[in-house]
Structure 1
Amino acid sequence: MALPVLFGANVDPVWQEPKAPLRQALAAERLGLDLVTVQDHPYQAAFYDTWTLVTYLVARTERITLVPTVSSLPLRPPAVLAKSAASLDVLSGGRIQLGLGAGAFWEAIEAMGGPRRSRKEAVDALTEAVSVVRAMWSGERSVRTTGEHYAVSGVHPGPHPGPGLGLWLGAYGPRTLALTGARADGWLPSHAYLGLDRLPDAVRRLDDAAAEAGRDPASLRKIYNVAGHIGGADRGAFHGPLSRWRDDIATTVAEHGMNGIVFWPTDDYGRQMSVFAEELVPLVREDLATRDPAPQIEE
């Protein structure tokens, strides 16, 4: 069965205006959106620590789900990260998802004390981290995993998260797409790095990996991060009038199989987010409802 289509807002973890992230998260909740995502780049001087901010936002909101997009694995030991996510899942009543990525910006990671990894090493480490996270969420009394980069040896996991806590990976290459399809619960690509021209092939790789692993591809949460401006002249995908955005999002969902859209306004944040939630999302829901087969639309 197809998952409901979700709509969300990105909130940057900037601290220069201390309450701006909270104001934006509260606005997203008030506007009826489903998700708030927060990017994780701990080496950025302009950013709060993402997990600290996410915890704060969960405590100050009531309904909306928070997602780090995506946690920087080289700076976040996976056993501790899994425990943090499980703890916040229990405390929040299930309003957290664990977004995780292999890492990027290696010089900055190394400057902060993290490892510098080759592409192969980064994917190997992510694969091992998935095993660690799954073990930590297993509910078993004692768990062990093996790996060159990450392993646990008889650790006692806890707390046990609810069934809704998922592991969503930021994946683009063949190996990480295969890993996501086979072992993750969701996928968090960005239009800036995976355009509409390449999206169908990536979705096919993901779905094929899921099917090969005996999983239903339709059960995977597939969130597309899109940055742009709503309004003005048509300047290509996700830049232009409501009609252009409506077509781009409906195509992304109905034809390419994505089941979530997170908006990253490039300017005029408050006004753009209002237009997205109050004008664009209803148009997209209306369009998707007329298509056959109709995906589920979460109100």
Structure 2
Amino acid sequence: MKGRAVPVQEVVFGFGAHSGIGEAPELLRMAQQADRDGLDHFSLSDHPYLGERLDAYAALGFVLGRTQRISGLANVTNLPTRPAPMLARTVTSLSALSGGRVVLGMGAGGLWDRISDMGVPRLSPGDAVDAFEEAIVLVKSLSGGGPPVTYRGRFYQVDQIEPAPVPTPPVWTGSVGRKSLAATGRVADGWIPGHAADWLSERYRTSRPIIDEAAAAVGRDPREIRTVFNFPGRVTDRPLAATRDRDGRWIGGSVGQWVEELTGAVLEHGASGFTLFSYGHGAPDPALLGRWANEIAPAVRDAIAKEDG
């Protein structure tokens, strides 16, 4: 898996944000802090069947309207509850309003018992992935301008719909299974490995080649499909004796240990982005977010630039 490093300007750093209704003020404060500190993106979960959660796309629009540079994404969009033609209108509108600061995170749908509670017809796993791939194709067709679109798929059909005259947002998926990973290789722009799997995990080692092979099979350069890791951990004042637990999962460590680990992830394993969560997989606190933005991310960028130079 070595040799897939990307230019330093393409390596992105973000954080997973609060999504509870009662946490809305904290969400805005942290997004504005990250915006000032130069982070690239924030992400929100999308679970519309949970009444205590903010609607992901309403929250994205609100935060993007109160920030200047940072991009936002749903990590990942609950596609079965958001039909692709309307999702296309949502993300292109947010892109137009924010100056292009939107990434479309896409998933096929995982918690089908809860999804079907919303009145959405249940799909088999295979059909859900087919609908997911159709949706990505259709969203891309309905952006970027051009002539009216007519699309005839198994799950989506549109007739003479005008695309939005804004660039197509990048699409990052949360694919897990082989069929979904192959769809990512064919039609997506990025991949967020599931279950917080990192570049040393068996999940990554066995999954990323499926994406690459599917991309190459349709004439795409696999290196154009970035891997953005959801990455939990804590920052300590002193180096830790071990930065990974017995199962090989990253725990955290000092700033120097983080910088060494992430620089190696980029240069040796082709990582092109990191979304920080706390060690307990929740949103980071302001202190952790500040160290991530002001100490770790700049040092990783500098280390990569030195290697590239």
Question: Could you tell me which residue of structure 1 aligns to residue 296 of structure 2?
Answer: 280
Report whether the alignment pairs 1:271 with 2:287. yes
Report whether the alignment pairs 1:57 with 2:58. no
Question: Could you tell me which residue of structure 2 aligns to residue 102 of structure 1?
Answer: 108
Q: 2:269 aligns with which of 242, 252, 256?
A: 256
Q: 2:191 aligns with which of 187, 192, 197?
A: 187
Q: How is 1:169-248 mapped onto 2 (pairs within 5 angstroms)?
A: 169-190=173-194, 192-193=196-197, 196-198=200-202, 199-231=204-236, 233=240, 234=242, 236=244, 237-242=249-254, 243-248=256-261
**Alpha-carbon contact 1:203-1:257 (below 8 Å) kept:** no
Task: Tell me how far apart the structure 2 counterparts of residues 288 and 8 of structure 1 sit (CA, whole Å).
Answer: 17
Q: For structure 2, list consecutive stretches of 5 or more residues without a partner in the other structure.
A: none
Task: Tell me how far apart the structure 2 counterparts of residues 12 and 179 of structure 1 sit (CA, whole Å).
Answer: 30
Q: How much does 1:19 deviate?
A: 1.0
The alignment covers a number of residue pairs equal to: 291
Task: Tell me how far apart the structure 1 counterparts of residues 6 and 265 of structure 2 sit (CA, whole Å).
Answer: 15
Task: Tell me how far apart the structure 1 counterparts of residues 174 and 162 of structure 2 sit (CA, whole Å).
Answer: 25
Q: How is 1:76-115 mapped onto 2 (pairs within 5 angstroms)?
A: 76-115=82-121
Question: Could you tell me which residue of structure 1 aligns to residue 50 of structure 2?
Answer: 44
Task: Tell me how far apart the structure 2 counterparts of residues 141 and 9 of structure 1 sit (CA, whole Å).
Answer: 37
Please tell me the residue identity of whatever aligns with 1:240: G
Please tell me the residue identity of whatever aligns with 1:123: V
Would the alpha carbon gap of residues 191 and 283 (structure 1) be closer, same or farther in structure 2, given more than 3 Å must change? Answer: farther
Mean CA deviation greater in 176-185 or 129-138: 129-138
**Alpha-carbon contact 2:144-2:167 (below 8 Å) kept:** no
**Alpha-carbon contact 1:191-1:227 (below 8 Å) kept:** no
TM-score normalised according to structure 2 size: 0.86
Please tell me the residue identity of whatever aligns with 2:170: G
Q: SS of 1:255's equivalent?
A: helix
Question: Could you tell me which residue of structure 2 aligns to residue 70 of structure 1?
Answer: 76
Task: Tell me how far apart the structure 1 counterparts of residues 197 and 13 of structure 2 sit (CA, whole Å).
Answer: 20
Task: Tell me how far apart the structure 1 counterparts of residues 74 and 138 of structure 2 sit (CA, whole Å).
Answer: 18
Task: Tell me how far apart the structure 2 counterparts of residues 141 and 147 of structure 1 sit (CA, whole Å).
Answer: 19
Q: For structure 1, list consecutive stretches of 5 or more residues without a partner in the other structure.
A: none
Identity %: 34
**Alpha-carbon contact 1:238-1:248 (below 8 Å) kept:** no
**Alpha-carbon contact 1:100-1:170 (below 8 Å) kept:** yes
Question: Could you tell me which residue of structure 1 aligns to residue 134 of structure 2?
Answer: 128
Mean CA deviation greater in 239-248 or 101-110: 239-248
Provide runs of 4+ in structure 1 moved above 6 Å: none
**Alpha-carbon contact 1:222-1:259 (below 8 Å) kept:** yes
**Alpha-carbon contact 1:172-1:194 (below 8 Å) kept:** no
Q: How is 1:7-22 mapped onto 2 (pairs within 5 angstroms)?
A: 7-22=13-28
CA offset digits 1:67-121 (Å, max 9, x no partner)? 1111101100000001111111112111111111101111111112223222112
Task: Tell me how far apart the structure 1 counterparts of residues 233 and 111 of structure 2 sit (CA, whole Å).
Answer: 23
**Alpha-carbon contact 1:73-1:126 (below 8 Å) kept:** yes
**Alpha-carbon contact 2:243-2:253 (below 8 Å) kept:** no
Q: SS of 2:184's equivalent?
A: helix
Would the alpha carbon gap of residues 214 and 171 (structure 1) be closer, same or farther in structure 2, given more than 3 Å must change? Answer: same
Would the alpha carbon gap of residues 190 and 274 (structure 1) be closer, same or farther in structure 2, given more than 3 Å must change? Answer: farther
Task: Tell me how far apart the structure 2 counterparts of residues 241 and 66 of structure 1 sit (CA, whole Å).
Answer: 27
TM-score normalised according to structure 1 size: 0.89
Task: Tell me how far apart the structure 2 counterparts of residues 21 and 44 of structure 1 sit (CA, whole Å).
Answer: 18
Mean CA deviation greater in 169-178 or 234-243: 234-243
Higher relative contact order (CA 8 A, sep 6+): 2
